[in-house]
Chains A and B, each alone.
Chain A
Amino acid sequence: MNDALDVTLRLLVVFVVFLTFPLIVGQTEHKVMAHMQGRLGPMYAGGFHGWAQLIADGVKFAQKEDVVPAGADRRVFQLAPAVALLPYLLVLLAIPIGPSEGAVGQVLDAGVFFVLAVMGVGVLGSLMAGWASANKFSLLGGLRTAAQLLAYELPMLLAAASVAMAAGTVSLPGILHAFHWWWLPWQIVGAIVFFVAGLAELQRPPFDMPVADSEIIFGAYTEYTGLRFALFLLAEYAGIVVLCGLTTVLFLGGWHGPWGADGLGWFWTLVKTAVLAFLVIWLRVTYPRLREDQLQKLSWTLLVPLSLAQIALTGIVKVVIS
């Protein structure tokens, strides 16, 4: 009985985090973009600082009709948003926010592989949407998504493998237990590669070629309306939370902080995740979109060699200090 209660409670907490954190990131994005680009629109709704803009957006999405194009593959079209969103819920289960046993949804023996594997599944949602919409812009968007995933999955995996080598374990809490502050400069190249590749996997600007609105309308999501479209947007924000949380855990020391108080572990994890999420938004409003060939070139000629070099460095240092 106690076990069942424990499991239920953990699932509930993870679910609440899954429902709230992406919305917080979305709200922050509205406000940060409004300030950085001098946008007036998001600052009106609700009076003070436009606090009600996100609620208004939600109401708008809920009111819209859920349209399935006549030529579309109905079932695949309707299933796609769920396939895109649910993997991020599963990933959140494995991310530890504090050092204690209770601060992670579920301790997994091969946590690094679990999170990367399940994140890769989420992209299937975009591919299904792109194909099933019976729309050439959607199809192009799906193609670009697939090409981007194939290019950036490899450097992401290699960068994560480097940390796993350094820690001597593939369990996420295990990696954090092995963390020392000097891992930060040691793994910095891997951290940057991981973060950039993760941005590309989420199709966030400057890697938003698959949804480039000036060329292919909105890529794989062109035909979606109402709540299903909102689910895709939610998947993107959940992806930001997951990517920032993972980068924090793998490279920035997670719950370790300058004043190593044990009770403050969750605070450090959340602060680091929030700073990274801010960085993601900042990059969006700062950089122009990369062209498709530039995207591929960046991955294959820069990120893959860099991550291989990082693995070599990790191996050398590991042998020297052991």
Chain B
Amino acid sequence: MTPAAATAVLAAPAPPGFLSPTGVEIAFLLVGLVTLGAALVSVTTRQLVHAALWLVVALGGLAVEYLLLTAEFIAWVQVLIYVGSVVVLLLFGLMLTKAPIGRSPDADSGNRWAALTVAVAAAVALVWVVVDAFRTTWIDLDGPAAGTTEVTGASLFRHWVLPFEALSVLLLAALVGAIVLSRKAKADAAAPAAPGKEGAR
């Protein structure tokens, strides 16, 4: 949800308080807790494929949160891209490297404290920014949906065209980079004669 669209549609005259929450707010909170729990399990479990499957739960929970915020289009795109493609790619990689059933003893890192620090710092920054930006915005659930495809498309291509295009160029650069890297590796492998049977193991 972009700030421009949010403020344009929302801005209720008397902002409701946090006490006496509605059913949707309770559902939002519960789904949020499930999502957070799944995310935590996903980074702490020692079973690699289970981590990927918990990631599916976390991403799906996020899609439900979008739905509860009436952003239907974003929710389905979230499922399509992240659950349907990114997790499939992850599982493909895990299968290709023969992820074992059961715990992987080496699925831990010596950098865990550094990683934890960075993760907590990033989370605090994100939460602080989001809370600061949207503290006073409320979505009117009874009115017309604020996150329909039409509204999202209009705000994306009217107010946010430049970031959108910049992102697509960034992705294109990543794509070209990936192709160059894979071709280079192939050329390197071909140059020294007979790579041997090691690769087939």
* Chain A contact residues, CB within 8 Å of chain B: 71-73, 76, 108-110, 113-114, 116-118, 120-121, 123-124, 127-128, 130-132, 134, 139, 142-143, 146-147, 149-150, 153, 157, 169-170
Q: How far is the CA of A170 from the CA of B149 in the complex (A)?
A: 8
What per-residue 1/0 map shows which CB atoms of B76-111 lie under 8 Å from chain A? 110110011101110110111011011000000000
Tell which of A71, A143, A149 touches B101, judged by Cβ atoms closer than 8 Å.
A71
- B56: nearest residue on chain A (CB-CB)? A124
Q: Show 15 A/B contacts (Cβ-Cβ < 8 Å), sorted by A.
A: A76-B49, A109-B148, A110-B73, A117-B76, A117-B79, A120-B85, A124-B56, A134-B101, A142-B95, A143-B95, A143-B96, A146-B91, A146-B92, A150-B92, A153-B84
Contact B149–A120 (Cβ < 8 Å): no
Q: How far is the CA of A280 from the CA of B56 in the complex (A)?
A: 31
What is the total of A-B residue contacts with beta carbons within 8 Å? 87
Q: How far is the CA of A73 from the CA of B49 in the complex (A)?
A: 10
Residues in A whose Cβ lies below 8 Å from that of B91 = 124, 127, 131, 142, 146
Contact A73–B92 (Cβ < 8 Å): no
Contact B92–A109 (Cβ < 8 Å): no
Contact B83–A117 (Cβ < 8 Å): yes
Tell which of A109, A118, A146, A157 touches B88, judged by Cβ atoms closer than 8 Å.
A146
Please tell me if B50 contacts chain A, counting CB pairs below 8 Å.
Answer: yes
- A143: nearest residue on chain B (CB-CB)? B95
Secondary structure at the B interface, as helix, strand, loop or mixed, is helix
Residues in A whose Cβ lies below 8 Å from that of B65 = none
Residues in B whose Cβ lies below 8 Å from that of A76 = 49-50, 53
Contact A124–B83 (Cβ < 8 Å): yes
Report the minimum CB–CB distance from B71 to chain A (whole Å): 10
Report the minimum CB–CB distance from A319 to chain B (whole Å): 16
Residues in A whose Cβ lies below 8 Å from that of B50 = 76
Report the minimum CB–CB distance from A102 to chain B (whole Å): 21
State how many residues of chain B have any CB contact under 8 Å with chain A: 28
Q: How far is the CA of A128 from the CA of B54 in the complex (A)?
A: 12
Contact B99–A124 (Cβ < 8 Å): no
Known contacts A117-B84, A120-B83, A153-B84; is A73 also within 8 Å of B95 by CB?
no
Report the minimum CB–CB distance from A74 to chain B (whole Å): 10
What per-residue 1/0 map shows which CB atoms of B159-194 lie under 8 Å from chain A? 000000000000000000000000000000000000
Tell which of B73, B85, B94, B96 touches A113, judged by Cβ atoms closer than 8 Å.
B73
Known contacts A71-B101, A72-B101; is A113 also within 8 Å of B84 by CB?
no
Contact B88–A150 (Cβ < 8 Å): yes
List 15 additional A-B contacts (Cβ < 8 Å) besides A76-B50, A131-B101, A170-B149: A73-B49, A109-B145, A113-B73, A117-B76, A120-B85, A121-B83, A124-B88, A130-B95, A132-B101, A143-B95, A143-B96, A146-B89, A150-B85, A150-B88, A150-B92
Contact B101–A139 (Cβ < 8 Å): no
Residues in A whose Cβ lies below 8 Å from that of B49 = 73, 76, 131-132
- B70: nearest residue on chain A (CB-CB)? A109
Residues in B whose Cβ lies below 8 Å from that of A131 = 49, 91, 94-95, 99, 101
- A141: nearest residue on chain B (CB-CB)? B95
- A171: nearest residue on chain B (CB-CB)? B149
Residues in A whose Cβ lies below 8 Å from that of B94 = 131
Q: How far is the CA of A153 from the CA of B83 in the complex (A)?
A: 13
Residues in B whose Cβ lies below 8 Å from that of A146 = 88-89, 91-92, 95
Residues in A whose Cβ lies below 8 Å from that of B85 = 120, 150, 153
Contact B89–A109 (Cβ < 8 Å): no
Q: How far is the CA of A169 from the CA of B101 in the complex (A)?
A: 45
Residues in B whose Cβ lies below 8 Å from that of A113 = 73, 76-77, 80
Residues in B whose Cβ lies below 8 Å from that of A108 = 72
- B80: nearest residue on chain A (CB-CB)? A117
Contact A143–B92 (Cβ < 8 Å): yes
Known contacts A71-B101, A113-B80, A134-B101; is A150 also within 8 Å of B72 by CB?
no
- B153: nearest residue on chain A (CB-CB)? A170
Residues in B whose Cβ lies below 8 Å from that of A153 = 84-85
Tell which of A116, A128, A150 touches B80, judged by Cβ atoms closer than 8 Å.
A116
Q: How far is the CA of A121 from the CA of B91 in the complex (A)?
A: 13
Q: How far is the CA of A128 from the CA of B21 in the complex (A)?
A: 39
- A118: nearest residue on chain B (CB-CB)? B79
Residues in B whose Cβ lies below 8 Å from that of A121 = 79, 83-84
Report the minimum CB–CB distance from B76 to chain A (whole Å): 4
Known contacts A117-B80, A124-B83; is A139 also within 8 Å of B98 by CB?
yes
Residues in B whose Cβ lies below 8 Å from that of A132 = 49, 101
